[in-house]
Amino acid sequence: MARRWARRYDRAGGLELRGYVRGRSAVGRLRVVPENEIVTFGCRLNAFESEVIRQAANAAGLTDAVIINTCAVTAEAERQAGQAIRRARRQHPAAKIIVTGCAAHLSPDRYTALPEVDLVLNNRAKLQSQSYRSEQGSIADPVQTPPHFAEGPAGRYRAFLEVQQGCDHRCTFCIIPYARGASRSVPIGLIAARARGLVAAGYREIVLTGVDLTAYGADLPGKPNLGQMVRRLLAAVPELRRLRISSLDPAEIDAELWRLVAGEERLMPHVHLSLQAGDDVILKRMKRRHSRRQAVAVAQRARASRPDIALGADLIAGFPTETEEMFRNSVGLIDECGLAFVHVFPYSARPGTPASRMPQLPNTVIKERAARLRAAGAAALAAELSNRIGSETDVLVERPGMGRAAFYAPMSFTGPDSPGSLRRMRVVGSNGAELMGVAVQ
């Protein structure tokens, strides 16, 4: 499961929601304009693809359309997409409403049946400009790695760059492989060329995205792994100041990537781990490929390799058959791994997945456990930020008085604040959710 520009964490569904209006962020906020609006739900890969969609629609000459890029990770994500569709029609009665993304790919009939919807596109068609010139998109088209890349949102300094698509694993709770297909990797040469273009356009930080990043390269000639790709990318684009990796599977981090984590200053000290649970029985029932012990070992190795690193993770609350003791093991994993950024997903049964056929927990229990996990995560973040007081960090200034630290935490500050600049800051305080800093002269 894979989460940046002015985002909102939805505490009801545990999902990060992003929307883009004319290249700028917005969530659940639609305005009557003749240009196209894109509302995005879900992961960083979806956020990246929304930029591809924006370019494809513009290239096709499409105007006055609202494009809803959906997520299928949870039922809550689909419910909120439905709300966005209805709101779009109310606020834009004359606009063309287009629905795409993983939920539309998996359940096209559900969305074509909605009276508000004019067009449904699958995950392949949504990236092609010709789809926005016609009145129908074939839902059965095979998904492929797009040969093109998106420009980042105007006026921003961090860009997402897709390097991998799809997943070959079958976690019992996850429906995404059915929407995204098998794992496919973008060749290193294309990645480097696109990264050079983004840097030339003014981007100071690039975030590598994918469905299963640690599977990178297995389908390419020579089978380069993720660490080798990152090393070659940094060597090919020496002017790139900051590189960030969106999410890693703890079962598959290669030795070269570990070396880069330890010694490459341009690779940001921030690792997000796809953990999902902290109990070995639940991990087995999820068909995850790591144990609790392995997760803790990965976290300890990361901290030993890079003392200033900050760790994040995805955790699912209320997986089928989860007992109170099993749940407490997940809560305890936050402290044992030293997690700072915890993304909580209340379990949501996805039709057709093995987990949907397991004994389910009551929704009240799932919601209560999700709230407890979030509270533990908030306390861990507050402690992590408090521990940073007195230290110094490089901050990418995103807007006047606000930026993002190298280890991912947001920071408000006083001092020179030219957007797009990298400034050395001293941490002088924290409100529990973000840092306060002053520029180091």
Q: Which residues pair with 273 in a beta bridge?
A: 248, 313
Q: Residues 6 or more apart from 203 whose CB is under 8 A from it?
A: 152, 156, 157, 158, 159
Per residue in 104-158, pLDDT tens? 888 888 888 888 888 888 888 888 888 888 544 433 343 344 444 444 443 478 8
Question: For the chain, what is the largest distance between any 2 Cα atoms, rounded to a whole number of angstroms?
Answer: 60
Across 238-253, average pLDDT: 95
Is the confidence at residue 388, as pLDDT, over 90?
A: yes
Least confident stretch, 91-100, 283-292, 361-370: 91-100
- Determine the Cα angle at 61 with ends 58 and 67, to 5°: 55
Q: CA torsion 347→348→349→354, rounded to 10°?
A: -40
Fold topology of 269-387: Transcription Regulator spoIIAA (3.30.750)
Is the confidence at residue 29, as pLDDT, over 50?
A: no
Per residue in 284-331, pLDDT tens? 999 999 999 999 999 999 999 999 999 999 999 999 999 999 999 999
Q: Residues 6 or more apart from 57 whose CB is under 8 A from it?
A: 36, 65, 67, 129, 132
Task: Give yes or no for a contact between 275 and 289, defined as CB atoms under 8 angstroms apart.
Answer: no
Task: Give yes or no for a contact between 122 and 146, defined as CB atoms under 8 angstroms apart.
Answer: no
pLDDT of res. 364: 97
Fold topology of 8-132: Rossmann fold (3.40.50)
Cα separation, 316 vs 332, in Å, equals: 13
Q: What ranges do the domains of the chain cover? A: 8-132, 269-387, 392-439
Per residue in 170-200, pLDDT tens? 999 998 888 788 899 999 999 999 999 999 9
Is the confidence at residue 34, as pLDDT, over 60?
A: no
Across 221-234, average pLDDT: 96
Is the confidence at residue 402, as pLDDT, over 50?
A: yes
Give this prediction's pTM: 0.77
pLDDT of res. 95: 87
Q: What is the mean pLDDT of the chain?
A: 85
Helix axes 363-387, 324-337, angle to 10 degrees: 20
pLDDT of res. 130: 84
* Residue 8 parent element (H or E): strand 8-10
Cα separation, 59 vs 380, in Å, equals: 45
Task: Give yes or no for a contact between 45 and 55, defined as CB atoms under 8 angstroms apart.
Answer: no
Least confident stretch, 11-20, 233-242, 337-346, 355-364: 11-20
